[in-house]
Structure formats: structure tokens, C-alpha cells
Amino acid sequence: MIDLLGITKTYTTGAQSLQVLKGVDLAVETGELVAIMGSSGSGKSTLLNILGLLDGYDEGMYRLDGKNMAQLTERRAAELRREMLGFVFQSFNLIGFKSAAENVALPLYYQKVPRKERLRRSHELLERVGLLEWADHLPSQMSGGQKQRVAIARALAAQPRVILADEPTGALDSTTSEEVMVLLKELNGDGMTMVVVTHEAEIAAECQRTIRLRDGLVETGAHV
């Protein structure tokens, strides 16, 4: 599903330039649940940005579902993001003035799905994550765990090929973290490919494989 070959990325600020990724090779197979670990500064955020098509890379090759992701325009990247990728963020990133159902329906809005169909699917997904009765609540009326489950439902809305989760339990206590992990594993069990970026060993332990990053290179776990 995901193939990275010799990916490099350098950030230049003024006269200084910093090579964050120094040739990353890795592969994620369809249906896998993979954790990416690494200390801060190891380049895991940058890697996630590149995997999520939120940022470009300098050299190397990135193939997502067999398609080359080189030299994308902003517009094309946006299209690919909404068709192929679902995001789960550490701080949930729900839109505060929209209800849970509307938040879940948002990716479908950008896919030009008619409103009725959108709301039907968002209710289905909320039921899937066990929050149907919270459909009309605003994020501010929910707990952290509930918010993250809404965010996961949102990530699923566009029926992506891969879900990218950035520290999905980083803002949650251990009980709710466990609930969220159970949900993610259930979804993986249904066949969804997932990449979870984390620095918590317990979370990584629940994944099938851990890719360790160190100083811009993959240390272990690059392939199955």
C-alpha cells in the first residue's frame, strides 16, 4: 500500500539548512497496522506530513496504492488526500462550531456528496464508533475520548485506503487511550490499513509492527 524509497527532506531556514530525512525506505502492506516510533527530532512528524501528502519531499520515491506521488500540485494533493487518506490528530481538530455529525460529514462535503447522503453516512459512522446519540452535540460538550472517536469516524467518512493517526492517544488518559486503540484495532480487523505515529511503547506494542526512526533514517522494521 505504501512504498517509500530513499526519501529525503531538507528544511532551510535562512542560511541554515537541516536535513530531517536522510533517505527513508519503508513499506506498509494493505491491511497492516503499523506504528512509527522515534524520539523527538527523529523526523517522524516530517515523515507523517509526507505520507499524508501535507508536505512534499526532495528526493526518492513515494508510491501510495501503486501510484507515484511525485510533484503534486496543491489541488491534486487535496484530491488525493480526500480520496485516499483519513487523518486522526492528537488534538482531535474537530471544528468547534459544527456538531459531531457535521464534523464527520465534512470530508464528504469536499467530495461533493449530496447533503442527505452525507448526513446518512455520518450517522452510520457515529453509530459505528458508538456515538450516535451524540450526533447533534458540539465538540465542546464531549469528553476527549468521545472527541477522538468522532475524529476517527470523520477519518473513515471518505472511505480512505489508509488512515494516518498522529499520536491519537497523546491527549487521553490510559483508560480512554485503550478504548481508542480497541476501536482502531477493530477497524484494522475490518481491513483498513493504518499507520500510527506514537512515542508510547504500549501503543506501539498493540500494533503488528513497529518502524523505528532515528536521526532521519529507519533503524528497524522497515519491511514486514
Partner 1 sequence: MRWWERDPWLELAQVLLRNPFRTLLSSLGVGWGLFMILITVGASNGLEEGVKADMGNRVKNSAFLWGESTSLPYKGYARGRGIVLTTMDVAFLEENATTLEAVAPRNQLGGWRGGNNVTHGLKTAACGVYGDMPVYKDIDPIVIMEGRYINERDLEDRRKVAVIGKRVRQLLFDREEQVLGSHIQIQGVTFTVVGVYRSQQTGEDAEESENSIFTPYTTFNHAFHMGDRVGWLSLLIREDVPGDTAVAEVLRLLKAQKSVHPDDPRGFGHWSMAEMHEEMTTVFSAFRWVSFVFGGLALFAGVIGIMNIMLITIKERTRELGVRRALGATPANIVVQIMVETLTLTVLAGLVGGIFGVATLEALDAFLAASEDNGIFRHPHVTLDVLLTALGTMTVLGAFAGVLPALRALRVEPVEALRT
> For 57-60, which contacts have Cβ atoms below 8 Å and span 24 or more sequence positions?
57/7, 57/8, 57/9, 57/21, 58/8, 58/9, 58/10, 59/6, 59/7, 59/8, 60/4, 60/5, 60/6, 60/7, 60/8, 60/23, 60/24
Report the distance separating Cα 43 and Cα 156, nearest Å.
Answer: 26
If one asks whether residue 83 binds partner 1 (CB under 8 A), the answer comes out as yes
Q: How far is the CB of 93 from partner 1 (least distance, A)?
A: 5
Quote the least distance from Cβ 51 to partner 1, whole Å: 11
Residue with the three cell numbers 513497529: 210
* Positions in 155-184 near partner 1 (CB under 8 A): 158, 166-167, 170
**Least CB distance to partner 1 at residue 224 (A):** 27
Please list every residue from 84 through 103 that binds partner 1, using CB under 8 A: 87, 89-91, 93, 95-98
**Residue 47: HSE in the Cβ half-sphere, 13 Å Cα cutoff:** 37
CB of 79 to partner 1, least distance (A): 7
Interaction pattern, residues 47-66, with partner 1; x per rule: CB under 8 A: -xx--x-xx-----------
Shortest distance, position 156 Cβ to partner 1, whole Å: 12
Nearer to partner 1, 45 or 208 (CB): 45
Each residue 116-155 as x (binds partner 1 by CB under 8 A) or -, in order, gives --------------------------------------x-
110 scored as a contact of partner 1 (CB under 8 A): yes
Region from 12-20, 30-38, 78-86, 185-193 binding partner 1, contact rule CB under 8 A: 78-86
CB of 92 to partner 1, least distance (A): 10
Q: Does 107 bind partner 1 (CB under 8 A)?
A: yes
Q: Which is nearer to partner 1, 29 or 147 (CB)?
A: 147
Please enumerate, as own/partner, the contacts of 22-25 that have beta carbons within 8 Å and a separation of 24 or more. Answer: 22/215, 22/216, 22/217, 23/60, 23/216, 23/217, 24/60, 24/213, 24/216, 24/217, 24/218, 25/218, 25/222
Binding site for partner 1 (CB under 8 A): 45, 48-49, 52, 54-55, 74-75, 77-79, 81-83, 87, 89-91, 93, 95-98, 106-107, 109-112, 115, 154, 158, 166-167, 170
